[in-house]
Amino acid sequence: MDISVVIPLYNEAESLPELEAWIRRVMDQNGFSYEILFIDDGSTDDSWEVIERLKKDNQAIRGVSFRRNYGKSPALNTGFARAQGDVVITMDADLQDSPDEIPELYRMIKEDGYDLVSGWKQKRYDPLSKTLPTKLFNATARRVSGIHNLHDFNCGLKAYRGKVVKRIEVYGDMHRYIPYLAKLAGFNRIGEKVVHHQARKYGKTKFGLDRFVNGYLDLATLWFTGKFGGKPMHFFGLLGSLMFFLGLVAVILVGAIKLWNLHHGNPYTLVTSSPYFYIALVTMILGTQLFLTGFLGELVVRNSTRRNEYEIETEIK
Ligand code: UDP
Ligand code: MG
């Protein structure tokens, strides 16, 4: 099969018939063999009935319906697990992404050798309250991930080489960072294509402004797990040692000041009247705790069943 189109959706009943007809038209015109995977993320409108109705006229449709709303990432992950096409394309269900982009995305994966091609909504039809923070968000994501050629990490329209989606795990709200996930999994050929974007025709957006706060927290998580996920002690041990060392210096200062005063017969003072006493107290406790956190982290890693799972590309036997 050439293409799997994975579509996560939450209360998008009005858009679905138009979207399905449009995808079918593009696929038929280009002679692709394909499947459409609708992942109904616990919709409370009649999205699922619409999908069942569409299925009657188009056998290429498959669908999954969640019992409740889990989020876009779980929906994508479920679609990825089921996708069978050589190339997997994801797009939003709200008609903001254009199916006309599919043939070129497919060609870029098949002929240009990309592992992942992300859409770039260069001209966006979204409110300013969204486009402005998005710019900032993408700049940070580029820096942290080291994928410098992407302008639009969170574009819903993306194309993947089939095996890429089988080797990344999208959970929580991590769909914003799929290119980063792919890179961490060892897929380096990440490209971009300017795509046409439309204003939302039906329904309303499912994400609020909290997306930006959560987005940054998730980026921190990915950076940390990507860098230290397999060796937490390298992070906590270093921080802990630095802290402890600071404390040690402060303790020595406290002792030295005390001895100096005694020696010179200065008036008697308590060690607790020295600021270094408190610095020593705090940093030595924090340092020890950071160090212990490192040990705990190592114990967790040691118990992971996946600690020695590697993706082997080729092998000579
Ligand atoms: N979506 C989903 N589960 C959710 C929220 C959103 O499957 O919990 C789907 C939604 O139906 C749409 C896509 O994810 O197909 C993108 O959502 P939306 O258009 O609201 O995001 P925006 O375009 O505002 O970034
Ligand atoms: Mg949208």
pLDDT of 230-252, one tens digit each? 999 999 999 999 999 999 999 99
- How confident is the model at residue 315, as a pLDDT? 94
- How confident is the model at residue 108, as a pLDDT? 97
- How confident is the model at residue 125, as a pLDDT? 84
E strand intervals along the chain? 3-9, 34-40, 61-65, 87-90, 116-120, 158-161, 190-194
Q: Is 95 left (phi over 0), alpha (psi -120 to 50) or beta?
A: left
Residue 17 has pLDDT above 90, yes or no: yes
Q: What is the mean pLDDT of residues 114-130?
A: 90
pLDDT of 124-171, one tens digit each? 888 888 888 899 999 999 999 999 999 999 999 999 999 999 999 999
Residue 211 has pLDDT above 90, yes or no: no
Q: What is the mean pLDDT of residues 271-293?
A: 95
- How confident is the model at residue 186, as a pLDDT? 94
What global pTM score does this model have?
A: 0.91
The DSSP call for residue 179 is H
Residue 210 has pLDDT above 90, yes or no: no
Name residue 212's amino acid.
F
Q: Is the CB of 93 under 6 A from ligand 1?
A: yes
The DSSP call for residue 45 is S
User: What is the C-alpha separation between 24 and 69, in angstroms, rounded?
Assistant: 27
49 Cβ contact list (under 8 Å, min separation 6): 13
User: What is the C-alpha separation between 103 and 25, in angstroms, rounded?
Assistant: 12
- If DSSP states are collapsed to H, E and C, what string results for 95-142? CCECHHHHHHHHHHHHCCCCCEEEEECCCCCCCHHHHHHHHHHHHHHH
Length of the chain in terms of residues written: 317
Q: 3-class DSSP state for residue 64?
A: strand
Q: Is the CB of 72 under 6 A from ligand 1?
A: yes
The answer to which of 5-9, 58-62, 123-127 has the lowest mean pLDDT is 123-127
The answer to which of 83-87, 117-121, 228-232, 271-275 has the lowest mean pLDDT is 271-275
Residue 207 has pLDDT above 90, yes or no: no
- How confident is the model at residue 103, as a pLDDT? 97
Residue 117 has pLDDT above 90, yes or no: yes
Residue nearest to atom 21 of ligand 1 (CA): 205
User: Residue for token digits 């015109």?
Assistant: 29
**Number of the ligand 1 atom closest to the C-alpha atom of 39:** 7
**Number of the ligand 1 atom closest to the C-alpha atom of 96:** 23
Q: Is the CB of 9 under 6 A from ligand 1?
A: yes
pLDDT of 79-110, one tens digit each? 999 999 999 999 999 999 999 999 999 999 99
- How confident is the model at residue 189, as a pLDDT? 97
Q: 3-class DSSP state for residue 243?
A: helix
